[in-house]
Amino acid sequence: MPVLVDLGRRFAAAGHELALVGGPVRDAFLGRRSADLDFTTDAHPDVTSRLLRAWGDAHWDVGREFGTIGARRRSTGPDGTTVDVVAEVTTYRAEVYDAASRKPEVSYGEDLTGDLSRRDFTVNAMALRLPSLDFADPHDGLTDLAAGLLRTPGTPERSFSDDPLRMMRAARFASQLRLRPAPEVLAAMTAMAERITIVSAERVRTELTKLLLGLDPIAGLRLLVETGLAAHVLPELPALQLEIDEHHRHKDVYEHSLTVLQQAVDLEDPEGTEGVEAVPGPDLVLRLAALLHDIGKPRTRRFEAGGGVSFHHHEVVGAKLVAKRLKALRYDNDTVKAVARLTELHLRFHGYGDGEWTDSAVRRYVTDAGPLLGRLHRLTRSDCTTRNQRKARRLAAAYDDLEERIKRLRAQEELDSIRPDLDGNAIMAELGIGPSRAVGRAYQHLLQLRLDRGPLGEESARAELHRWWAEQPEATAS
C-alpha cells in the first residue's frame, strides 16, 4: 500500500527504522483484512509523535506510557474508494512483569530482531520492513502458521512470565484463528496458570471477549478449562463439570453448556441483519448467556429419592452468580444486566407446555424479555440438547407455536410498546389529583389490566380506574 511505503520513507529520512509487524502481517498470509495496522520502530515516542503528526490527519498519544503513538490518515484505495488508515507505532520494547505487578514494566529495545524475539507467538513475530518491503521472520512464524501451530519465539515459560496474559491469548487464537498450542506451550500454560491472577481484570475481560466472539469459541474455552486458566478467570465454567453418581443420572452440565453455546452461535443472524428480533452475529450477550445460563446448577443440585437429581431455582441463583462474575471482570452494566436477565428467563418457556398459555401469559413473556426477546428466542432453542429426537421435535414445535402467537399478538396490539390505555396525565385529570405515588399505582394497575385483557379502550379504562380508585385509602380520606 503506497501510504505505508510513504510512512516508511518518512521514518527512513529521519534516520529511523520502521516495520509493519504482528497481526497485520499474519493476517495478510491468512487472507484476512486487518482494520488497524501495527508498526514497530527504533525511534522513541517523541520522534514518532512528530513524524506521525506530519503524516496523518489526526494523531494521539494515549499509549505513550508504553511507547505507542497512533495516527489516522484518509487515503484512496486501489478501487478509488476512500479509506481511513489507522496506524499505531511502538518503539522496540520489552515488557516484564514482576511477581506482584499487574502492569508491565516497559523498557525500550535496540533492534527489530530483538523486538520480534519478545513477541507472544512466532506467528506474530513476523514483520515487513518499510519502505524496502523486506520480509523478516527470524522464528519461522510462517511455517508455524501453515501448520496451524502456536509456538513462542523463546521458551514459553519466559514468554508467559514476561506477560501472563499471553496464556489467555493462546486460547483466543484457538478461537479466532483455529491455531493449536504446541505441546511445550500447552505444558507451560498448565504449569503457570495461576500467574494469570496478577493480570488486571480489564485485560482478562478483553481477551475473554475476543475469544467468545471468535470463529470457534468452544476450542478456546476448552483450552482455558484444560490448562486450569478458567479456574482463575471464570471458575464457574469448570465448576459445571459435576461428578455424575452412577445412581443419580443427569446431563454433563459442562458439555451441555458448550453445546448450547455452539447452537446459539449457529442461530445468530448474518452480520447487518435488521429487525425487531434480529440478533446479528457475533453477539457477545447471547454467547455469554448461552455459556453461563446453567452456572447456578452446582449450587442447587439435590439428589432425590429414587435416583433423580433436581436443580430447583438454578436460574435465579445463576442470574446472581452471572452478575457477580461479569462485574468482577469489569463488564459494562448493560452487558451484566442483559446476561443476568437472560439467565433468569431461560427456563420460562418450559411452562408453555402444549400451548396452554393465555394471551396474558404470552404478553408477560414478551414484556419481561423486553429488548432481549430475540436473544431469548435463540437461547431457549439452543438449550435443547436432548438426543431424544421425538422430544426435540416436540419442543421445537412448541416454541414455533409460541413465536407464531407472539407475532399475531404483536400485529394486533403493537406488543413491543404496550402501555396502559391512560397515561399519567390522563390518570391525574380523571381522578383530580396531582403527582403522587397514587398515580404510579394507578398506572401499574391499568398496565396489569392491559397485559391480562389486551386493549381496553379509553372508556373502559376510565371505568376500571374509578372502580380501583374507590378502594384506595387516598380516595376514602378525601
Q: What is the pLDDT of residues 116-125, one digit of tens each?
A: 999 999 999 9
Residue for grid cell 503506497: 2
Nearest to 422 by CA among 396, 398, 397, 444: 444
181-203 pLDDT, tens digit per residue, is: 999 999 999 999 999 999 999 99
Domain ranges of the chain: 1-147, 148-234, 252-417, 424-477
**Contact, 116 vs 69, CB < 8 A?**
no
Task: Sort 471 into a burial class: Cβ within 10 Å, 0-12 / 13-18 / 19+.
Answer: exposed
Q: What CATH class has 1-147? A: alpha beta
Nearest to 257 by CA among 221, 228, 231: 221
Nearest 5 degrees, angle CA 3-CA 5-CA 10? 95
Whole-angstrom distance, CA of residue 451 vs CA of residue 449: 5
Residue for grid cell 453461563: 292
353-380 pLDDT, tens digit per residue, is: 666 788 888 988 998 999 999 999 999 9
State residue 350's pLDDT score.
Answer: 83
Q: 249 vs 457, which has greater pLDDT? A: 457
Find the mean pLDDT for residues 427-443.
90
42 has pLDDT over 70: yes
99 has pLDDT over 80: no
Find the mean pLDDT for residues 401-427.
82
Least confident of 37-41, 97-101, 324-328: 97-101
Least confident of 74-83, 147-156, 344-353, 369-378: 74-83
State residue 342's pLDDT score.
Answer: 97
- Chain CA centroid to CA 205, Å: 9
User: Mean pLDDT in the chain?
Assistant: 89
State residue 395's pLDDT score.
Answer: 87
Nearest to 38 by CA among 118, 102, 105, 128: 128
63 has pLDDT over 90: no
246 has pLDDT over 90: no
Nearest to 145 by CA among 118, 166, 122, 128: 122
The C-alpha cell that represents 41 in the structure block? 520502530
Element (H, E) at 136: strand 135-136
Element (H, E) at 414: none
Classify each residue of 13-49 as buried b or exposed e, where b means 16 or more C-beta atoms within 10 Å of its C-beta.
eeebbbbbbbbbbbeeeeeeebeebbbbbbbebebbb
Choose which CATH entry (1.10.287.130, 3.40.1390.10, 1.10.110.30, 3.40.190.10) describes domain 148-234.
1.10.110.30
- Chain CA centroid to CA 226, Å: 21
**Residue 298 pLDDT level (bands cut at 50, 70, 90):** confident
Q: 82 vs 255, which has greater pLDDT? A: 255
**Contact, 145 vs 124, CB < 8 A?**
no
Whole-angstrom distance, CA of residue 428 vs CA of residue 249: 59
Least confident of 155-169, 232-246, 256-270: 232-246
Least confident of 41-50, 113-122, 152-161, 300-309: 300-309
State residue 308's pLDDT score.
Answer: 74
Whole-angstrom distance, CA of residue 276 vs CA of residue 68: 42
Whole-angstrom distance, CA of residue 164 vs CA of residue 188: 11
The C-alpha cell that represents 347 in the structure block? 427456563
Find the mean pLDDT for residues 414-433.
83
State residue 97's pLDDT score.
Answer: 54
Element (H, E) at 59: strand 58-60
152 has pLDDT over 90: yes
Query: Residues, the chain, total?
Result: 478
